[in-house]
Structure formats: C-alpha cells, structure tokens
A and B are shown apart, each in its own frame.
Chain A
Amino acid sequence: MSSKLCIGGIVEPGSTVINKTGSWRSFKPIYHHEKCIKCGICELSCPESCIIKTEDGYYEIDYDYCKGCGICSNECPRQTIEMALEEK
C-alpha cells in the first residue's frame, strides 16, 4: 500500500477492477457466433458483468475477469457457447 490511509477506511468506488479474477478459471467459454441469435441472455446472466456486446451485435468475453462459471453457456438457447478446458 503506497498511499496514506483515509480516516475511517473509506474506499474509492469500483476499485475491484484491479483484481483480475480470470485467473480462477478451470473452464473457458468460447463463442461459436455462427449459432448466435443475439438474444443477449449471456450478457444479462453473467455474475461478473464481463460479457460485452460488440459493434456488430455479437458478444465477447473479457477473459481478465471471467471465472468460468458456465452460466452463459448453460443459459444460451442456441448452444453458442462452449465450455472448453482452460489450457494453462
């Protein structure tokens, strides 16, 4: 900790972003966009809010934060997302 402590331990908002939880993963979600119907259920269902809509309306994953929980894959109505074993 380099900075002086704030009286009362008050913390700046949104500062968890420095913690890259992507290192937690065992399985990695991979999109197969050819099957995607752009319903947005994956983005909505992600507990890390690390699924982002791209300019062309598809979705991509911010792997810095993805914990590999697999909810996106499980909820996708078109089996667009494959959970593949993480290569380390």
Chain B
Amino acid sequence: MSKLTVVEGSYAVAHAVKVCRPDVIPAYPITPQTHIVEELSQFAANGEIGACEYITVESEFSAISVLIGASAAGARTYSATTSQGLALMHEVLFNASGMRLPLVMTVANRAMSAPLSIWNDHQDSIAQRDVGWIQLYAEDPQETADMTPQAYKICEDSKIMLPAMACFDGFILTHVYEPVVLLEQDLTDEFLPPFAPEHILDPSNPKTFGAFADPSIYTEFRYMQELGMSAALKKIETVADEFNEIYGRYYGGLIDGYYLDDAEIVLVAMGSVIGTIKDVIDELRAGGKKVGLLKIRSFRPFPTDAIRDAVKNAAIIVPLDKSISIGKYEGALCTEIKASLYNTRIDIPVLGYIFGHGGRDIPPERIKKIVSEAEKAIVSGITIESSYADLQEELL
C-alpha cells in the first residue's frame, strides 16, 4: 500500500517532475502555476535534482525558447505556465511542434485577459488547440502528477516526437491540499527510460535544425505531425496501462467513463469539474436517473473513435465546456463532439453548456439543473443548442 501524503496540488506535480529526472527547467512566475516552479527551485537549491539546470528566464517566450534549444541539444526539459504566459508562447508552440521536440509543459488552466482574471477556465489551452501539441486534461492532483511521466513517455516515442501540455485547473487543483501518493523514484526509473533522441545538436555529428520549406515540401511536414498524433492515439492508451501496471493507478486513457454503459444522459467534461459531476451522478443514480459521464482525458489528439463508441447508445449528449469560441457561441467539446458524430449513423441530440468562466464556481446544483434540462430536451427536443449554464442575466 503506497503511502499517502497531504500536499498542495502544485507540490505533487513538482515532485513528479523531479522524479522524471529533467535536465533543464526554465521558470517564469505566473499565477496560479508559480508554486510548481517555486517547489522545483527549492529542490534545486537542496541539490535534489542532480545536474539539472534551473534557469529564471525573463519571459515565458524565453522559457519555451530555452526548452527548444535544450531539447534540440538532447536534454529532457520541463516548464509550467498558464493563461497570458501560454498565449505569449503561441508562436513558439507552433515552432516546437513543427521541429518535433518532445517538450512537456504543465498548464495550470486560467482565464484569459481581458478582463484580467487569475481564476480558472480552459480558454488558455483551448485557444492553443491547433498548434500541434498533445493536450491531456487531469481531474485531480494525483492524476496530474501521474500524467507527468506518462507525458514524457508518450512524447519521446520516436514515432511521436510531439510536445505535450498536461493541463489541470488553476487554483482548484494547483492550490488544493489533498492526500496523494508522491511518485516513487524507483518506479519512475522503471517506467520512464532516459531521453535518447536520434538527432541532437552535437559537434561530433553536425545536423541542421529548422531549415525553411518551400511550397513543394511544406505540406508533407504538416502531415507528418498528424501522423505523430495518430501514433499518440494508441500510445496514450498503452502508456496509461503500463503506468497502472507499475504504479497501480489508472485514470483512463484517451477517455474514461463513469456509469457510462447504460447512460441515457451522457455528460461530457474535462478537468476538475469531473469530481463534482461524479458526486452528482452518484446521487442521481441512487434516485434512479440514468446519467453517466464521458471524461475526455486527451483533447489532442481528439479521440473521435472512442467518443463515437462511448456515446452511441445515449439519448442525449451534454458537453460541458469551460471555454467558448467567441462568435460561434459554443465551447470546444460541444463543437468537436458534434463534428465527430456528423457523418455517422449516430443521430443523437447534442446539448451544449458553457460554465465556469473566470473561476466561477460550479456547485452540484448547477449540474443537477443541467441534467433536468437535458431530460426535458430528450422529450421536447433542443431549442437552444448551446448556452451559458451560469449567466447572471440580471446584470445585463
């Protein structure tokens, strides 16, 4: 039986990074991920991370640029960011993916300015869904910690070689104190082999990284990133299984289900709200309601086949988004799930809700209200396809 320790979520993640034996960690402060990099700096100051170079950079743009240089030189790298910092990195995110560097970065999901907000939603990482990074979403601090060595193992696979964001909700998960199992060094050494890329910057075997591609060749490089994502679809599943074998914990692969098999109402969500949803489902199931949860763990690559298989017997699908595409009035899960079902024989209504912007709390009552609206929609059809579940109309 592994020992449980009560620690802050950020500490659990920092500790997980430590046992992955990183070589270079650039750090820049931004709420609410700062505690992660602070814990890592304390590990460095105590000599607990070996020869790892810990660098206090002057912006997030430089943080991720340091990751690129270090990774190309053969180092296993790590950084953490959120919101404005992630947005500042936008250009470099494309560059890292295109250069096929297996960077791992924790994103402590936070709302985007303006208005300025330090509290949680998914707008920051969802806004980066097209850049070519693997995106995994965790529901609690234990999963986020567990996701760290898994992310390295996925990214560093020679058929994948794509960078990954391990996303977890800012404040809700970064600052919560919970009992977790701190990842063991010996198990991690068994699970995660050393980083050994085929090509590195090395005077004894010089290579050119980052040549420009004219129209005759650019498309093929883009497509090769898609091939990497396809390989990741399988690898995310196998790595989750391998992790379970060694550490004895499983949080799902690409997706996970909770009372999904016979569910008539399927709620779909990512991140910490899953904890609340599971509690509500327990209560509603006790009352006889056939509600279930489809947890999306991998948002990129998007698990189209797994989703189709999971929802095919539902009476209504209810994606719950903490993001919105402004101008489409839909969150990412809603749009992408509808798109996944469109060309199939799966003719099930999709009723989308958006909530939790800028850290707005999602109490169980909110979920229950959504379920009851979904029940009505099964009978009388959908009138509004996508809407805010927590809008204060009296303020408008």
Chain A residues within CB distance 8 Å of chain B: 1, 5-13
CA distance in complex: A84, B53 (Å): 58
A42 vs B199: C-alpha distance in the bound complex, in angstroms? Answer: 37
Write the residues of chain B forming the contact surface with A, with a CB cutoff of 8 angstroms. 98-101, 158, 161, 199, 206-211, 213, 217, 220-221, 224, 228
| Contact indicator B208/A12 (Cβ below 8 Å) | yes
Interface centre among A6, A8, A11 (most CB of B within 10 A): A8
Q: Which residues of A contact B221 (CB under 8 A)?
A: 5, 9
Given contacts A13-B206, A13-B207, A13-B208, contact A8 B100 (CB under 8 A): yes
Known A9-B210, A10-B208, A12-B208; 5 more pairs at CB < 8 Å:
A5-B220, A7-B158, A7-B224, A9-B99, A9-B221
Q: Is there an interface contact between A8 and B99, defined as CB atoms closer than 8 Å? A: yes
Using CB atoms, name the residue of chain A closest to B97: A8
- CB distance B207 to A10 under 8 Å? yes
Question: How many contacts between A and B, using CB within 8 angstroms?
Answer: 36
- Chain A interface mostly: loop
Measured CB to CB, the closest approach of chain B to A18, in angstroms, equals 14
B interface majority secondary structure: loop
List chain A residues, Cβ under 8 A from B217: 1, 5
Complex Cα–Cα for A13 and B161 (A): 22
8 A-B contact pairs sorted by A residue (CB < 8 Å): A5-B220, A7-B228, A8-B199, A8-B209, A9-B221, A10-B199, A11-B208, A13-B208
Which residues of B lie under 8 Å from residue A8 when comparing CB positions?
Answer: 98-101, 161, 199, 209
Q: Which residue of B lies closest to A6 (CB)?
A: B199
Please indicate the chain A residues that have their CB under 8 angstroms from the CB of B210 in the complex.
9
Residue of A1, A5, A7, A12 touching B207 (CB-CB under 8 A) = A12
In angstroms, Cα B100 to Cα A12, docked, is 17
CB distance from B28 to the nearest CB of A (A): 26
Q: Is the CB of B220 within 8 A of A11?
A: no
Given contacts A5-B224, A6-B199, contact A11 B211 (CB under 8 A): yes
Cα distance, A9 to B213, chains bound together (Å): 9
What distance in Å separates the Cβ of B257 from its nearest Cβ neighbour in chain A? 34
A40 to B113, CA, bound (A): 61
With a cutoff of 8 Å between Cβ atoms, the chain A residues found around residue B199 in the complex are: 6, 8, 10
Question: Which B residues are CB-close (under 8 A) to A11?
Answer: 207-208, 211
